[in-house]
A and B are shown apart, each in its own frame.
Chain A
Amino acid sequence: MQPTTVNIADVTIPVSGLTCASCVGHVREALEEQPGVTAANVNLVTREAKVSFNPGDTSVETLVEAIRSRGYGAELPVVRASLAEEQTAQEKAQAEEYNDLRRKAIASGALGAVAMVLSMPLMSGGDHLTHGGGDPILGPLMNLVEPPMRTAMPWLYSIDPTVLKWVLLTLTVAVMGWAGRQFYTRAWTAFRHRTADMNTLIAVGTGAAFVYSLAATIAPDFFVRHGVPAEVYYEAVAMIIALVLTGNALESRARGKTSEALKKMLLLQPAQARVLRNGAEVDVPAGEVQGGEVVLVRPGERVPVDGIVIEGRSAVDESMLTGEPVPVQKEVGDKVIGGTLNRLGSLRYRATAVGAAGMLSQIVKLMREAQASRAPMQKLADRISAVFVPIVISISIATFVTWLLVAPEAGLVRALSAAVAVLIIACPCAVGLAVPTAVTVAIGRGAQAGVLFKGGEALEKLHGVDTILLDKTGTITQGRPSVTRVAAAAGFSEDTVLATAAAVERLSEHPLAEAVVIAAEERALVSSPAGDFDAVPGLGASAIVEGRRVLIGNQRLMESREIAPTAFLATAEEFAATGATPVFVAIDGLLAGVIAISDPIKPTSAAAIKKLRIKGLRVVMLTGDRKTTALAVARMVGIDEVVAGVLPEGKVAEVKRLQQEGRRVAMVGDGVNDAPALAQADAGLSMASGSDIASEASDVTLMRSDLEAAVSAIDLSNRALRVMKQNLAWAFLYNVIGIPVAAGALYAAFDLLLTPVLASVAMALSSFSVVSNSLRLRR
């Protein structure tokens, strides 16, 4: 006897309920009793059973059941495929599917064409009602082709019709059994589950035509005796299968393209990373880089994981993640993002976020979730899809019965042709694909431009807005304020004012605070640490510095503490008129000075705001700053509606107020401070800050803090909605018009009938055109 080699598989099964050593024995016994198990080890500590077995004799499921039958808990081990692996598997399946469909479509098309030619002699002479008569395209075509064919191939016309019928039967069975087989098997499994889909329609349609033809081939006398022409429709069956397969192949390829953006995102992740380990540079798989490790990137290489630069200087192309066209300068202390392209210099950086925490992984996760979401517009399509096929079958039956009852002559033939045409022309796929393909493509396109939509609903929400609220700091301006001027009261020096203010601001998290601290450091001013710090939201802060109570904040803070800012009001106004924010400093109840902090406007803001206004949006600037500052900034960027001096709660109220006016409001702000207003708005757009890109409150995350990204988001949402509506309209109208015409609604008035073959052309094109229309969003 030849020794046979068997593949032994190993599996680790999580087991629960193991309380003692004897339990371990029980579980091991249960496993070893199973046929095909070669070794079983149960670990009480890790609560796992490691089993080696022959997959030919048993399965993991059986092993799990065996453990459970002894009263212990066991679970199927989960093999977690990475996103990239899953994507690759899906692509592979789609490519196989496309190749298979294409091969079958070409072969069955060739056979169908042969069948068409062979059936010509059968149609001539007789009343070829269903082969072309009444059909607006095939009818005249037939009349055109037939006479020259008769001259070119006289031998064809001398073949005995019975022989021709049997040849056609063989050809058709071959097409149905090989290329068309999938329609019948899938229709049957669906039927068993009490569902029906496109396959059901094709299977029933071609099946009915085939059965009729078969009967006419076997027992033609029976038909003639009952006054029905013994016609066969084999060529129609073969052509329908060929055409529907062609449509499916086109659709399959187009559908594969809808998720191209996601594929590209996944490809951004480099496989390898060069890290410093024990003083040596080593190449490791990017997935194995640990947080805190030092990573090296050379010019032209992709940044493997997120991190902060510790050495070197370079320009990094981040366009693939943020849509920012110009490479970003990186130096020590700057953040780099995994997946971006290092251009010129070499960088050393410390890895911060690795694996799933990395920015790229988060973007991909967000994209997948977004593409999984259902747009509200989908609901109608869903409701129709759910009932579509059974209703079409009902219409087809009604068509058949009606023709039988009312047709003056050859009722059965017409009835069959029309009923089959109804089944074939109906296209549930176009309805089902209309919205999801548009959502998938739009979300992919958005991600490539640095605009992450939360889902289909976010696309829809943004489309309807007529008013857009822009937060000033960090949205219109750079959000990196700096001290531009300092004015001191009599008895105080500018340096004292700045140093004292910096001592307090060092403890504050307010965006303006940093500017004061930096300015003090630049002037090399030293002050002792502050204590007893107290932040007053929306107003400022107070603390004790060198035993003195220091108050720093806006005019309102001063007034609330009964410190009259009168002496500095004119200076403050002067600062504000240039777009700077005046910050008052009081020491021990006396006004010490005013600091002008100005936040430069982003270079793209004015142009973006102009674009928003051209779109007909009402643009409103929202800020906690004083009115003069706000108006100055507004004037510079071309906004004439400003709501100034609002506290964080005030922003929510402002959104509500506009909503009560009947406006549909979009809000652009940062995801942290503006979260409540973003959530209240009809559509919230947050500028990505830090590494957390999935702000709970917002519908859209803008990967670059640039108002142009908001313009792109609105553009994309408008285009996506237009495509969705076109798709839905097309899919509905196509069916609403196509089905009655196929049933013969226009026959009485215009003598117009569609043959099933023409119906199949229309059907094949209809779902393909829906997907193609969605693909336009890629640009």
Chain B
Amino acid sequence: MLQLLILIVGLAAIAWVNWYFFMAPKAAVMAKASASGSQEVTITVEGGYSPSVVRAKKGQPLRLIFDRKEKSPCSDEVVISEFGVRRFLKPFEKTVIDVTPTKAGTFEFACGMSMLRGQIEVEG
């Protein structure tokens, strides 16, 4: 009886871990259009990116403001391969990265080691 209970609790724990990290929905944030026609979004960097999914429109300049609120080396660089960006993010400061998405699709941004990740969803 005890053994069965241990088994059930164990399996439940595994299921929860996988649900929590993989399955739970992540909120997407639409980049706000500014007066000059560029789009802008602030991404908080603290053990991850929030929001981790950014939506933007094709063809308009997109300003990503990475607000790094920690000094953990895991997040000290951000890489957006699609746009050839590798930038150092100063701890406790905002780093502005300007890109212009020229095609629709989903592009990844990640830390230097690809552990922390986020996405830019470019709508046509």
Which A residues contact B (CB, under 8 angstroms)? 14, 16-17, 72-76, 78, 86-87, 89-90, 93-94, 97, 182, 186-199, 252, 255, 368-369, 371-374, 378, 381-382, 385-387, 389-390, 393-394, 397-398, 400-401, 404-405, 428-429, 432-433, 436, 455
**Is A90's CB under 8 angstroms from B113's CB?**
no
Q: Which residues on the B side are within 8 Å of A187 (C-beta)?
A: 47
CA of A436 to CA of B115, assembled, Å = 12
Q: Which residues on the B side are within 8 Å of A14 (C-beta)?
A: 36
A-B contact pairs, 25 of them (CB 8 A): A72-B35, A78-B98, A97-B71, A186-B72, A188-B47, A190-B48, A190-B116, A193-B47, A193-B52, A194-B48, A195-B117, A372-B84, A374-B81, A378-B114, A382-B114, A385-B114, A386-B114, A390-B18, A393-B17, A394-B18, A398-B14, A401-B9, A404-B6, A429-B113, A436-B112
Q: Which residues on the A side are within 8 Å of B112 (C-beta)?
A: 436
**Is A194's CB under 8 angstroms from B14's CB?**
no
Q: Choose from B14, B52, B80 the contact partner of A394 (Cβ within 8 Å).
A: B14
Known A75-B40, A193-B52, A432-B115; judge A186-B88 contact (CB<8 A): no
Among A16, A189, A368, A389: residue with most chain B CB under 10 A: A189
- B86, chain A: closest CB distance, angstroms: 3
**Is B14's CB under 8 angstroms from A397's CB?**
yes
Number of interface residues of B (CB under 8 A): 54
- B89, chain A: closest CB distance, angstroms: 9
* Closest A residue by C-beta to B91: A93
Known A90-B88, A397-B10; judge A432-B76 contact (CB<8 A): no
**Is B65's CB under 8 angstroms from A76's CB?**
yes
* Closest B residue by C-beta to A387: B22
Q: Which residues on the B side are within 8 Å of A16 (C-beta)?
A: 34-36
Q: Which residues on the A side are within 8 Å of B115 (C-beta)?
A: 195, 197-198, 385, 428-429, 432
**Is B71's CB under 8 angstroms from A189's CB?**
no
**Is B113's CB under 8 angstroms from A433's CB?**
yes
CA of A78 to CA of B47, assembled, Å = 25
**Is B21's CB under 8 angstroms from A195's CB?**
yes
**Is A189's CB under 8 angstroms from B87's CB?**
no
Interface positions of B from 16 to 40, Cβ below 8 Å from A? 17-18, 20-22, 24, 26, 34-36, 38, 40
CA of A333 to CA of B3, assembled, Å = 88
Interface positions of B from 73 to 92, Cβ below 8 Å from A? 73-74, 76, 79-81, 84-88, 90-91
CA of A17 to CA of B80, assembled, Å = 32
CA of A481 to CA of B46, assembled, Å = 61
CA of A50 to CA of B102, assembled, Å = 34
**Is B113's CB under 8 angstroms from A385's CB?**
yes
Q: Which residues on the A side are within 8 Å of B7 (C-beta)?
A: 401, 405
**Is B14's CB under 8 angstroms from A189's CB?**
no
- A671, chain B: closest CB distance, angstroms: 19
**Is B88's CB under 8 angstroms from A89's CB?**
yes
Known A75-B36, A182-B72, A385-B114; judge A189-B48 contact (CB<8 A): yes
Among B9, B11, B70, B72: residue with most chain A CB under 10 A: B72
CA of A255 to CA of B111, assembled, Å = 14
**Is B36's CB under 8 angstroms from A436's CB?**
no
**Is A93's CB under 8 angstroms from B71's CB?**
yes
Q: Choose from B34, B74, B87 the contact partner of A197 (Cβ within 8 Å).
A: B74
Known A196-B21, A398-B10, A432-B113; judge A86-B26 contact (CB<8 A): no
Q: Which residues on the B side are within 8 Å of A182 (C-beta)?
A: 72
Binary contact track B84-124/A, C-beta < 8 Å → 1, others 0: 11111011001010100000000000101111110000000
Q: Does B49 contact A (CB under 8 A)?
A: yes
